[in-house]
Structure 1
């Protein structure tokens, strides 16, 4: 049998890259019986069939990491892309992506794209918020090439999920990083100022300077039902977790409790106000989910 990695899955077919080339494979029926679905990024063993470059996935090696949305395995880091203009930054959605990635336990980098479209004051405000939240932030523009070399260094020798809502310029950035990728880019709707979906499936793309990147479809929502208790949400907001140890009560949810250091840090600007507001929004969502 051959060992390889699933680089793409479409319509029940899995495309597995091996030392002998790419094989178009079906999954064994035993996987369906065990309710196991092969994922892009899975390292697998395949059995060749008589037909040229086709086969069957026989075994899936243990996964180091797994994301549900997008459904990918064995990524080492997430690059979350937001745009500063066209469309305007959706920090509520950005924080949901961050919560999901924090839950998987992978390294996270934030990319703020289209920085050529606005003044530096607008950019600085968002950068400071997320740098205070202990994230690396890269400013990019596919028009001026700003930040492209820095982004390449981050991607090198990693398996990276490249995620973010539609229209923020993910495909344009990847095309700048490596022209041979030739990913389809989309226009921004004049009516909604939101992106039109251009990526139809999740695909593992090999980078010529080392590593892989997963180009994923855009998303409009991310479910937080994997967080069962609202007191656990602080572990997904690094700056809130850090300051929560200084609160008067260990059970503090940082809503209205006396002696809350987190709220004091919001007032002093050490924690971004928008980040805190999104935290409160997610707390209410988790409480609501728990009632059903």
Structure 2
């Protein structure tokens, strides 16, 4: 019995990577009868029945599952923002950070276009690093930070996220020429037709690791949570929450709020606090529909 990672399923075939080889597999009969869901990223057990062919006999427990795109076992999300044009959308960034953490994945902020960074944005990487997030500074054009990004992707299943125009495709192409074409080896094997439904595929990196070929988080609604839980996704608020007078403090208008004091003293970035208040309103509104 072999163990591998499912790259893609299409037309009843499932393509599995194991030890550098790709196997075209079918599902064992009972899985078809159960209509069990198999996703790119699933770790599966399969039996080789001929060179390059196999039958999937089992699936290992998932560590994470993203909904859109539907992919399993992603363990890190590379959130790409531009230091030039388009200007960084910090509200979107903070939203993506929450989505990543809530899905059990590690967010890594990749500040791209360092070669054309605008002066007003130069301090953002160190600001977010100081808040407790992992940060990379890259330029797909000059190659700055690309080797470190490659190292970051090794041994992980990753997805890229971020607004259009920030250079996600250019970064993928800098990491490994051809990745930005969104056609991995599985697609070439299958000869994807014009009417084939678009599905997520994991692309295998030559130097190790896998990347989903579809940007992460096509839906940007905040995950279902209690209003008291939101502050825990703002890493810099944690040291102050325990100092608030009320245990259930939402850090809005409550008296003796240590978080608000920290904002006034400049210990918590004001834009982060303003985003927290906006997101809190969304969470409270969503609670009414649960």
Tell me the CA shift for residue 165 of structure 1.
3.1
DSSP 3-state at the match of 2:181: coil
Correspondence for 1:155: 153
Correspondence for 2:281: 284
Correspondence for 1:267: 264
Query: How far, CA to CA, are the matches of 1:120 and 1:13 in structure 2?
Result: 51
Judge which range, 104-113 or 277-286, deviates more: 104-113
DSSP 3-state at the match of 1:283: helix
DSSP 3-state at the match of 1:179: coil
Correspondence for 1:193: none
Query: 1:141 is matched with which residue: 139, 148, 156?
Result: 139
Query: How far, CA to CA, are the matches of 2:218 and 2:77 in structure 1?
Result: 18
Correspondence for 2:191: none
Correspondence for 2:112: 113
Query: How far, CA to CA, are the matches of 1:167 and 1:145 in structure 2?
Result: 18
Superposed counterparts of 1:64-143, under 5 Å = 64-124=63-123, 126-143=124-141
Query: How far, CA to CA, are the matches of 2:232 and 2:37 in structure 1?
Result: 29
Judge which range, 17-26 or 150-159, deviates more: 17-26
DSSP 3-state at the match of 1:210: coil
Correspondence for 1:243: 240
Determine if contact 2:13/2:25 at 8 Å carries over to the other structure: yes
User: What is the aligned residue count?
Assistant: 275
Determine if contact 2:108/2:135 at 8 Å carries over to the other structure: yes
Tell me the CA shift for residue 32 of structure 1.
6.8
Q: 1:153 to 1:2 in 2, by over 3 A?
A: closer
Query: How far, CA to CA, are the matches of 2:262 and 2:248 in structure 1?
Result: 18
Tell me the CA shift for residue 10 of structure 1.
4.4
DSSP 3-state at the match of 1:70: coil
Correspondence for 2:17: 17
Query: 1:179 is matched with which residue: 166, 177, 180?
Result: 177
Residues 152-176 of structure 1, C-alpha deviations (whole Å, 9 max, x = no match): 2322333323222333222211211
Determine if contact 2:203/2:213 at 8 Å carries over to the other structure: yes
Correspondence for 1:202: 200
Query: How far, CA to CA, are the matches of 2:136 and 2:172 in structure 1?
Result: 14
Determine if contact 1:79/1:109 at 8 Å carries over to the other structure: yes
DSSP 3-state at the match of 2:56: strand
TM-score when scaled to structure 2?
0.82
DSSP 3-state at the match of 2:122: helix
DSSP 3-state at the match of 2:166: coil
Determine if contact 1:85/1:117 at 8 Å carries over to the other structure: yes
DSSP 3-state at the match of 1:248: coil
Tell me the CA shift for residue 261 of structure 1.
1.4
Tell me the CA shift for residue 147 of structure 1.
1.6
DSSP 3-state at the match of 2:23: strand
Determine if contact 2:160/2:215 at 8 Å carries over to the other structure: no
Q: 1:221 to 1:20 in 2, by over 3 A?
A: closer
Determine if contact 2:39/2:70 at 8 Å carries over to the other structure: yes
Tell me the CA shift for residue 96 of structure 1.
1.9
Tell me the CA shift for residue 85 of structure 1.
3.8
Correspondence for 1:7: 7
Q: 1:113 to 1:67 in 2, by over 3 A?
A: same
Q: 1:247 to 1:201 in 2, by over 3 A?
A: same
